Amino acid sequence: MNIAVAQSGGPTAAINSSLCGVFDEAEKYNEIDRIYGSLNGIEGILNDNLIDLKEVLITENDKQLLKRTPSTVLGSCRFKLKNSSDDDSDYKRITQNFAKHNIKAFFYIGGNDSMDTVMKLDAYFRENHIDIKVVGVPKTIDNDLPLTDHTPGFGSAAKYVATTLQEIIRDSRVYSIPSVTIVEIMGRDAGWLTASSCVLRANGEPAPHLIYLPESDFSEEHYLEDVKRISERYKAVIVAVSEGIDCLASRSEATDAFGHKYLSGVGKYLEELTRDHIGCKVRSIELNVMQRCGSHIASLTDLDEAWRIGAAAVNEALKYGGSGVMMGFRRISNNPYRVGIAPLDVRECANKAKYFPKEWITPEGNNVTIDALNYFLPLIQGEPKIDYLNGIPVHFRLDQ
Protein backbone atom coordinates (compact mmCIF):
# COMPACT_ATOMS: atom_id res chain seq x y z
CA MET A 1 0.00 0.00 0.00
CA ASN A 2 0.94 3.62 -0.44
CA ILE A 3 0.07 6.83 1.35
CA ALA A 4 -0.17 10.48 0.28
CA VAL A 5 0.48 13.73 2.05
CA ALA A 6 -0.34 17.29 1.01
CA GLN A 7 0.04 20.81 2.37
CA SER A 8 -2.54 23.54 2.16
CA GLY A 9 -3.36 27.10 3.20
CA GLY A 10 -0.95 29.90 4.03
CA PRO A 11 2.74 29.18 4.53
CA THR A 12 4.31 28.73 7.96
CA ALA A 13 7.81 28.00 9.19
CA ALA A 14 6.76 24.60 10.56
CA ILE A 15 4.61 23.01 7.86
CA ASN A 16 7.58 21.28 6.22
CA SER A 17 8.57 19.88 9.58
CA SER A 18 5.15 18.22 9.83
CA LEU A 19 5.69 16.82 6.34
CA CYS A 20 8.97 15.34 7.58
CA GLY A 21 7.14 13.88 10.57
CA VAL A 22 4.68 12.11 8.27
CA PHE A 23 7.51 10.93 6.03
CA ASP A 24 9.83 9.72 8.79
CA GLU A 25 7.10 7.83 10.62
CA ALA A 26 5.68 6.31 7.43
CA GLU A 27 9.14 5.03 6.52
CA LYS A 28 9.04 2.89 9.67
CA TYR A 29 6.04 0.93 8.37
CA ASN A 30 7.05 -2.06 6.26
CA GLU A 31 3.60 -2.23 4.71
CA ILE A 32 3.97 1.29 3.27
CA ASP A 33 5.71 1.26 -0.06
CA ARG A 34 5.47 4.72 -1.56
CA ILE A 35 4.96 8.01 0.22
CA TYR A 36 3.44 10.36 -2.30
CA GLY A 37 3.58 14.12 -2.02
CA SER A 38 0.61 15.81 -3.67
CA LEU A 39 1.55 19.09 -5.34
CA ASN A 40 -0.54 22.14 -4.44
CA GLY A 41 -2.64 20.46 -1.82
CA ILE A 42 -5.72 18.51 -2.82
CA GLU A 43 -5.33 19.90 -6.36
CA GLY A 44 -2.42 17.49 -6.78
CA ILE A 45 -4.71 14.55 -6.02
CA LEU A 46 -7.41 15.84 -8.36
CA ASN A 47 -4.92 16.41 -11.17
CA ASP A 48 -2.85 13.31 -10.42
CA ASN A 49 0.14 15.52 -9.78
CA LEU A 50 2.13 13.44 -7.30
CA ILE A 51 5.79 13.00 -6.53
CA ASP A 52 7.46 10.07 -4.80
CA LEU A 53 8.90 11.68 -1.68
CA LYS A 54 11.46 8.88 -1.22
CA GLU A 55 13.02 10.04 -4.48
CA VAL A 56 13.53 13.59 -3.25
CA LEU A 57 14.13 13.13 0.48
CA ILE A 58 17.11 10.85 0.18
CA THR A 59 19.65 11.75 2.82
CA GLU A 60 19.23 12.62 6.48
CA ASN A 61 20.53 16.06 5.53
CA ASP A 62 17.69 16.52 3.02
CA LYS A 63 15.19 15.99 5.80
CA GLN A 64 17.03 18.17 8.29
CA LEU A 65 17.12 20.99 5.74
CA LEU A 66 13.47 20.55 4.83
CA LYS A 67 12.46 20.80 8.50
CA ARG A 68 14.14 24.21 8.64
CA THR A 69 12.79 25.47 5.31
CA PRO A 70 9.76 27.74 5.47
CA SER A 71 6.61 27.60 3.38
CA THR A 72 5.16 24.51 1.71
CA VAL A 73 7.71 22.53 -0.27
CA LEU A 74 4.84 20.73 -2.05
CA GLY A 75 3.02 23.96 -2.80
CA SER A 76 -0.36 24.92 -1.45
CA CYS A 77 -3.88 25.68 -2.58
CA ARG A 78 -7.06 27.46 -1.52
CA PHE A 79 -9.42 24.80 -2.82
CA LYS A 80 -12.74 24.05 -1.15
CA LEU A 81 -14.50 20.79 -2.01
CA LYS A 82 -18.15 21.16 -2.93
CA ASN A 83 -20.63 19.17 -0.89
CA SER A 84 -20.70 15.67 -2.37
CA SER A 85 -24.50 15.71 -2.31
CA ASP A 86 -24.42 18.69 -4.71
CA ASP A 87 -21.62 17.51 -6.97
CA ASP A 88 -19.53 14.42 -6.34
CA SER A 89 -17.37 14.62 -9.47
CA ASP A 90 -14.28 15.79 -7.56
CA TYR A 91 -14.79 13.06 -4.98
CA LYS A 92 -14.91 10.47 -7.74
CA ARG A 93 -11.71 11.77 -9.31
CA ILE A 94 -9.98 11.76 -5.94
CA THR A 95 -11.15 8.21 -5.29
CA GLN A 96 -10.00 7.10 -8.73
CA ASN A 97 -6.58 8.63 -8.32
CA PHE A 98 -6.17 7.18 -4.85
CA ALA A 99 -7.13 3.77 -6.26
CA LYS A 100 -4.81 4.17 -9.24
CA HIS A 101 -1.86 4.67 -6.89
CA ASN A 102 -3.10 2.26 -4.21
CA ILE A 103 -3.19 5.12 -1.69
CA LYS A 104 -4.82 3.92 1.52
CA ALA A 105 -4.20 6.90 3.77
CA PHE A 106 -4.13 10.63 3.11
CA PHE A 107 -2.59 13.20 5.43
CA TYR A 108 -3.58 16.81 4.95
CA ILE A 109 -1.49 19.46 6.67
CA GLY A 110 -3.44 22.70 6.84
CA GLY A 111 -5.77 25.09 8.61
CA ASN A 112 -9.52 25.54 8.85
CA ASP A 113 -10.25 25.10 5.14
CA SER A 114 -8.07 22.01 4.89
CA MET A 115 -9.91 20.43 7.80
CA ASP A 116 -13.12 20.98 5.84
CA THR A 117 -11.57 18.84 3.09
CA VAL A 118 -10.55 16.17 5.62
CA MET A 119 -14.08 16.11 7.02
CA LYS A 120 -15.80 15.90 3.63
CA LEU A 121 -13.45 13.29 2.19
CA ASP A 122 -13.73 11.09 5.27
CA ALA A 123 -17.53 11.34 5.22
CA TYR A 124 -17.62 10.47 1.51
CA PHE A 125 -15.32 7.47 1.96
CA ARG A 126 -17.39 6.19 4.89
CA GLU A 127 -20.67 6.59 3.03
CA ASN A 128 -19.27 4.75 0.05
CA HIS A 129 -17.47 2.08 2.08
CA ILE A 130 -14.09 3.06 0.70
CA ASP A 131 -11.29 2.12 3.06
CA ILE A 132 -9.07 5.18 2.86
CA LYS A 133 -8.03 6.92 6.06
CA VAL A 134 -8.01 10.71 6.08
CA VAL A 135 -6.18 12.48 8.88
CA GLY A 136 -5.68 16.22 9.32
CA VAL A 137 -2.47 17.73 10.65
CA PRO A 138 -3.04 21.26 11.90
CA LYS A 139 -0.96 24.28 10.93
CA THR A 140 -1.65 27.97 11.03
CA ILE A 141 0.19 30.99 12.34
CA ASP A 142 -3.23 32.29 13.38
CA ASN A 143 -3.49 29.64 16.13
CA ASP A 144 -7.25 29.68 15.65
CA LEU A 145 -8.05 25.99 15.20
CA PRO A 146 -10.50 24.74 17.83
CA LEU A 147 -9.87 22.09 20.50
CA THR A 148 -6.10 21.90 20.04
CA ASP A 149 -4.08 23.83 22.65
CA HIS A 150 -2.16 25.52 19.86
CA THR A 151 -1.17 24.91 16.25
CA PRO A 152 2.19 24.19 14.62
CA GLY A 153 3.56 27.27 12.89
CA PHE A 154 2.22 29.60 15.54
CA GLY A 155 5.19 29.33 17.92
CA SER A 156 7.67 30.20 15.19
CA ALA A 157 5.57 33.13 14.02
CA ALA A 158 5.33 34.34 17.63
CA LYS A 159 9.09 34.04 18.05
CA TYR A 160 9.62 36.02 14.85
CA VAL A 161 7.19 38.70 16.03
CA ALA A 162 8.80 38.98 19.47
CA THR A 163 12.35 39.08 18.09
CA THR A 164 11.51 41.59 15.39
CA LEU A 165 9.35 43.73 17.64
CA GLN A 166 12.17 43.95 20.17
CA GLU A 167 14.50 45.19 17.42
CA ILE A 168 11.88 47.71 16.30
CA ILE A 169 11.64 48.88 19.92
CA ARG A 170 15.43 49.45 20.01
CA ASP A 171 15.18 51.26 16.70
CA SER A 172 12.31 53.48 17.83
CA ARG A 173 14.12 54.79 20.87
CA VAL A 174 17.13 56.45 19.29
CA TYR A 175 15.90 60.00 18.81
CA SER A 176 15.13 62.41 21.60
CA ILE A 177 11.74 63.40 20.16
CA PRO A 178 8.50 61.61 21.10
CA SER A 179 7.24 59.01 18.65
CA VAL A 180 4.57 56.39 18.12
CA THR A 181 5.36 53.18 16.26
CA ILE A 182 2.45 51.00 15.15
CA VAL A 183 3.23 47.40 14.25
CA GLU A 184 0.54 45.60 12.26
CA ILE A 185 0.50 41.87 12.87
CA MET A 186 -1.38 39.14 10.98
CA GLY A 187 -4.66 37.78 12.29
CA ARG A 188 -7.78 38.75 10.41
CA ASP A 189 -10.21 37.20 12.88
CA ALA A 190 -8.16 35.98 15.81
CA GLY A 191 -5.65 38.05 17.75
CA TRP A 192 -3.38 35.27 19.03
CA LEU A 193 -0.27 36.34 17.15
CA THR A 194 -0.65 40.01 18.05
CA ALA A 195 -1.30 39.07 21.67
CA SER A 196 1.86 36.95 21.70
CA SER A 197 3.92 40.14 21.48
CA CYS A 198 3.40 40.33 25.26
CA VAL A 199 6.18 37.75 25.71
CA LEU A 200 8.75 40.57 25.73
CA ARG A 201 7.53 41.36 29.24
CA ALA A 202 9.18 38.16 30.42
CA ASN A 203 12.50 39.92 29.77
CA GLY A 204 11.48 43.17 31.46
CA GLU A 205 10.55 45.02 28.29
CA PRO A 206 7.53 47.28 28.89
CA ALA A 207 6.76 47.57 25.17
CA PRO A 208 4.53 46.96 23.30
CA HIS A 209 2.65 49.35 25.56
CA LEU A 210 -0.67 48.79 23.82
CA ILE A 211 -2.07 45.63 22.22
CA TYR A 212 -5.29 45.70 20.18
CA LEU A 213 -7.02 42.52 19.07
CA PRO A 214 -10.04 41.72 16.90
CA GLU A 215 -11.60 40.12 19.98
CA SER A 216 -12.01 43.41 21.81
CA ASP A 217 -14.02 46.44 20.78
CA PHE A 218 -11.91 49.10 19.16
CA SER A 219 -12.71 52.77 19.41
CA GLU A 220 -10.63 55.53 17.86
CA GLU A 221 -11.37 57.74 20.82
CA HIS A 222 -10.07 55.26 23.38
CA TYR A 223 -7.08 54.46 21.18
CA LEU A 224 -6.04 58.11 21.04
CA GLU A 225 -6.53 58.47 24.80
CA ASP A 226 -4.43 55.35 25.36
CA VAL A 227 -1.60 56.65 23.19
CA LYS A 228 -1.65 60.07 24.87
CA ARG A 229 -1.53 58.51 28.32
CA ILE A 230 1.34 56.17 27.46
CA SER A 231 3.31 58.92 25.75
CA GLU A 232 3.37 60.88 29.00
CA ARG A 233 5.51 58.12 30.45
CA TYR A 234 7.35 56.66 27.45
CA LYS A 235 9.09 58.71 24.78
CA ALA A 236 8.68 55.98 22.17
CA VAL A 237 5.22 54.43 22.28
CA ILE A 238 4.91 50.99 20.69
CA VAL A 239 1.50 49.72 19.56
CA ALA A 240 0.90 46.11 18.44
CA VAL A 241 -2.28 45.81 16.43
CA SER A 242 -4.02 42.94 14.66
CA GLU A 243 -4.79 43.52 11.00
CA GLY A 244 -8.35 42.51 11.84
CA ILE A 245 -9.40 45.00 14.51
CA ASP A 246 -12.78 46.48 13.79
CA CYS A 247 -12.05 49.90 12.32
CA LEU A 248 -12.60 51.80 9.10
CA ALA A 249 -9.54 50.30 7.41
CA SER A 250 -10.55 46.70 8.03
CA ARG A 251 -14.04 47.11 6.63
CA SER A 252 -13.81 46.29 2.97
CA GLU A 253 -16.63 48.63 2.02
CA ALA A 254 -14.94 51.60 3.69
CA THR A 255 -13.97 54.61 1.65
CA ASP A 256 -11.99 57.68 2.55
CA ALA A 257 -13.19 61.26 2.47
CA PHE A 258 -12.79 61.28 -1.29
CA GLY A 259 -14.88 58.20 -1.79
CA HIS A 260 -11.87 56.03 -2.61
CA LYS A 261 -11.61 52.56 -1.22
CA TYR A 262 -9.09 52.09 1.56
CA LEU A 263 -6.25 50.13 0.07
CA SER A 264 -3.87 50.28 2.97
CA GLY A 265 -4.17 48.30 6.15
CA VAL A 266 -4.94 48.98 9.74
CA GLY A 267 -1.38 50.09 10.55
CA LYS A 268 -1.40 52.83 7.93
CA TYR A 269 -4.85 53.85 9.06
CA LEU A 270 -3.80 54.21 12.70
CA GLU A 271 -0.64 55.99 11.58
CA GLU A 272 -2.69 58.68 9.88
CA LEU A 273 -5.15 58.86 12.76
CA THR A 274 -2.31 59.31 15.24
CA ARG A 275 -0.57 61.92 13.13
CA ASP A 276 -3.77 63.89 12.67
CA HIS A 277 -4.73 63.87 16.35
CA ILE A 278 -1.45 63.67 18.26
CA GLY A 279 0.96 65.11 15.76
CA CYS A 280 4.22 63.51 16.86
CA LYS A 281 6.53 61.39 14.71
CA VAL A 282 4.51 58.31 13.71
CA ARG A 283 5.53 55.23 11.80
CA SER A 284 3.57 52.11 10.90
CA ILE A 285 5.21 48.82 10.10
CA GLU A 286 3.66 45.75 8.53
CA LEU A 287 5.34 42.47 9.40
CA ASN A 288 3.76 41.12 6.23
CA VAL A 289 4.57 37.59 5.04
CA MET A 290 7.90 37.62 6.89
CA GLN A 291 6.11 36.71 10.12
CA ARG A 292 4.78 33.48 8.68
CA CYS A 293 7.95 32.29 6.95
CA GLY A 294 10.74 33.43 9.29
CA SER A 295 12.48 30.06 9.55
CA HIS A 296 15.82 31.57 10.48
CA ILE A 297 14.31 32.55 13.84
CA ALA A 298 11.91 29.61 14.18
CA SER A 299 10.97 28.14 17.54
CA LEU A 300 12.63 24.77 18.04
CA THR A 301 9.71 23.74 20.25
CA ASP A 302 7.39 24.53 17.36
CA LEU A 303 9.45 22.66 14.75
CA ASP A 304 9.79 19.63 17.01
CA GLU A 305 6.09 19.59 17.84
CA ALA A 306 5.22 20.01 14.16
CA TRP A 307 7.33 16.94 13.40
CA ARG A 308 5.76 14.99 16.27
CA ILE A 309 2.19 15.77 15.27
CA GLY A 310 2.92 14.74 11.67
CA ALA A 311 4.35 11.45 12.92
CA ALA A 312 1.40 10.95 15.28
CA ALA A 313 -1.00 11.36 12.36
CA VAL A 314 0.61 8.40 10.61
CA ASN A 315 0.30 6.25 13.71
CA GLU A 316 -3.30 7.35 14.18
CA ALA A 317 -4.23 6.11 10.71
CA LEU A 318 -1.95 3.09 10.41
CA LYS A 319 -1.81 1.79 13.96
CA TYR A 320 -5.19 2.83 15.35
CA GLY A 321 -7.23 2.97 12.15
CA GLY A 322 -8.27 6.54 12.82
CA SER A 323 -9.88 8.66 10.11
CA GLY A 324 -11.90 11.86 10.03
CA VAL A 325 -9.73 13.26 12.76
CA MET A 326 -7.43 16.21 13.21
CA MET A 327 -4.47 15.62 15.47
CA GLY A 328 -4.34 18.10 18.33
CA PHE A 329 -2.17 19.17 21.23
CA ARG A 330 -3.28 18.93 24.82
CA ARG A 331 -1.19 20.91 27.29
CA ILE A 332 -0.36 18.77 30.29
CA SER A 333 1.66 21.32 32.22
CA ASN A 334 3.37 24.66 31.79
CA ASN A 335 6.27 24.13 34.13
CA PRO A 336 7.82 21.93 32.94
CA TYR A 337 6.10 22.43 29.61
CA ARG A 338 4.58 19.15 28.43
CA VAL A 339 2.06 18.43 25.69
CA GLY A 340 0.30 15.30 24.59
CA ILE A 341 -1.05 14.60 21.10
CA ALA A 342 -4.49 13.13 20.54
CA PRO A 343 -6.96 12.78 17.66
CA LEU A 344 -9.91 15.17 17.62
CA ASP A 345 -13.14 14.74 15.70
CA VAL A 346 -12.52 16.85 12.60
CA ARG A 347 -16.21 17.80 12.48
CA GLU A 348 -15.61 19.72 15.68
CA CYS A 349 -12.61 21.52 14.14
CA ALA A 350 -13.48 22.25 10.52
CA ASN A 351 -14.92 25.65 9.66
CA LYS A 352 -14.74 26.75 13.28
CA ALA A 353 -12.39 29.25 14.82
CA LYS A 354 -10.89 29.55 18.29
CA TYR A 355 -10.67 33.14 19.38
CA PHE A 356 -8.34 34.72 21.87
CA PRO A 357 -10.06 34.40 25.29
CA LYS A 358 -11.89 37.53 26.41
CA GLU A 359 -10.74 36.87 29.98
CA TRP A 360 -7.11 37.25 28.88
CA ILE A 361 -7.79 40.77 27.62
CA THR A 362 -7.40 43.58 30.15
CA PRO A 363 -10.63 45.41 31.11
CA GLU A 364 -9.49 48.45 29.11
CA GLY A 365 -9.26 46.27 25.98
CA ASN A 366 -5.77 47.52 25.20
CA ASN A 367 -3.51 44.77 26.53
CA VAL A 368 -3.40 41.14 27.66
CA THR A 369 -2.98 39.46 31.03
CA ILE A 370 -0.26 37.36 32.65
CA ASP A 371 -2.27 34.23 31.77
CA ALA A 372 -1.65 35.00 28.13
CA LEU A 373 2.07 35.40 28.79
CA ASN A 374 2.19 32.04 30.57
CA TYR A 375 0.35 30.41 27.69
CA PHE A 376 2.62 31.85 24.99
CA LEU A 377 6.05 31.58 26.55
CA PRO A 378 6.65 27.80 26.23
CA LEU A 379 5.77 27.91 22.54
CA ILE A 380 8.69 30.13 21.50
CA GLN A 381 11.48 28.29 23.32
CA GLY A 382 14.58 26.94 21.64
CA GLU A 383 16.40 27.68 18.41
CA PRO A 384 17.06 25.21 15.60
CA LYS A 385 20.60 24.87 14.30
CA ILE A 386 20.62 26.67 10.96
CA ASP A 387 22.99 25.58 8.19
CA TYR A 388 24.54 28.51 6.36
CA LEU A 389 26.13 28.48 2.92
CA ASN A 390 27.79 31.67 1.73
CA GLY A 391 26.38 33.43 4.79
CA ILE A 392 22.77 32.59 3.85
CA PRO A 393 20.53 29.95 5.49
CA VAL A 394 20.29 26.85 3.31
CA HIS A 395 16.78 25.95 2.17
CA PHE A 396 15.60 22.66 0.76
CA ARG A 397 14.22 23.25 -2.73
CA LEU A 398 12.37 20.89 -5.02
CA ASP A 399 12.54 22.97 -8.17
CA GLN A 400 12.77 26.48 -9.51
Catalytic annotation, residues: 142
Helix (H) or strand (E) holding 314: helix 300-318
**Please, which of residues 297-336 interact with a second copy by CB under 8 A?**
297, 299
Nearer to a second copy, 253 or 399 (CB): 399
Among 17, 71, 117, 250, binds a second copy (CB under 8 A): 71
Q: Does 252 bind a second copy (CB under 8 A)?
A: no
- Do the annotations mark residue 122 as ligand-binding? no
What lies within 8 Å, CB to CB, of 62 at 6+ separation is: 56, 396
The three-state DSSP-derived secondary structure of 169-205 is: HHHHCCCCCCEEEEEEECCCCCCHHHHHHHHHHHHCC
Check if the beta carbon of residue 152 is closer than 8 Å to that of residue 15: yes
- Do the annotations mark residue 141 as ligand-binding? yes
List phi, psi (to 5°) of 315: -65, -40
- Do the annotations mark residue 110 as ligand-binding? no
Among 127, 171, 217, 371, binds a second copy (CB under 8 A): 171
Among 178, 264, 278, 342, binds a second copy (CB under 8 A): 264
Q: Does 188 bind a second copy (CB under 8 A)?
A: no
Q: Which stretch binds a second copy (CB under 8 A): 104-112, 119-127, 141-149, 166-174?
A: 166-174
Among 30, 85, 129, 260, binds a second copy (CB under 8 A): 260
Check if the beta carbon of residue 68 is closer than 8 Å to that of residue 3: no
Check if the beta carbon of residue 399 is closer than 8 Å to that of residue 49: no
List phi, psi (to 5°) of 334: -95, -30
Among 46, 53, 77, 312, binds a second copy (CB under 8 A): 77
Among 61, 83, 219, 288, binds a second copy (CB under 8 A): 288
Q: Does 70 bind a second copy (CB under 8 A)?
A: yes
Q: Does 384 bind a second copy (CB under 8 A)?
A: no
Beta strands in 84-161 (DSSP E): 103-110, 133-138
Q: Which stretch binds a second copy (CB under 8 A): 92-100, 106-114, 174-182, 213-221?
A: 174-182
Q: From 49, 115, 40, 92, select the one nearest 343 (Cα to Cα).
A: 115
The distance in angstroms from the start CA to the end CA of the chain is 31
Say how many residues touch a second copy, by CB under 8 A: 63
- Do the annotations mark residue 142 as ligand-binding? yes
Q: Does 296 bind a second copy (CB under 8 A)?
A: yes
Helix (H) or strand (E) holding 325: strand 325-334
Q: Does 76 bind a second copy (CB under 8 A)?
A: yes
The sign of the CA dihedral 124, 129, 132, 136 is positive
Closest separation between CB of residue 303 and a second copy, Å? 13
C-alpha distances out from residue 23 to 66, 265, 327, 340, Å: 11, 39, 16, 20
Q: Tell me how far apart the alpha carbons of residues 308 and 310 are, in angstroms, rounded to a whole number.
A: 5
Closest separation between CB of residue 126 and a second copy, Å? 30
- Is the omega angle on the peptide bond into residue 138 within 30 degrees of 0, that is, cis? no
Q: Does 286 bind a second copy (CB under 8 A)?
A: yes
Q: Does 261 bind a second copy (CB under 8 A)?
A: no
CB atoms within 10 A of CB 109: 35
Closest separation between CB of residue 382 and a second copy, Å? 7
Closest separation between CB of residue 298 and a second copy, Å? 10
C-alpha distances out from residue 164 to 160, 215, 297, 375, Å: 6, 24, 10, 20
Among 202, 332, 353, 370, binds a second copy (CB under 8 A): 202
Q: Does 93 bind a second copy (CB under 8 A)?
A: no
- Per the annotation, binding residues for Mg(2+) are 112
**Site residues for a second copy per CB under 8 A:** 11, 40, 43, 69-72, 75-78, 159, 162-164, 166-168, 170-176, 199-200, 202-203, 206, 234, 258, 260, 264, 268, 283, 285-286, 288-290, 292-297, 299, 377, 380-383, 386, 388-395, 400
- Per the annotation, binding residues for substrate are 140-142, 186-188, 243
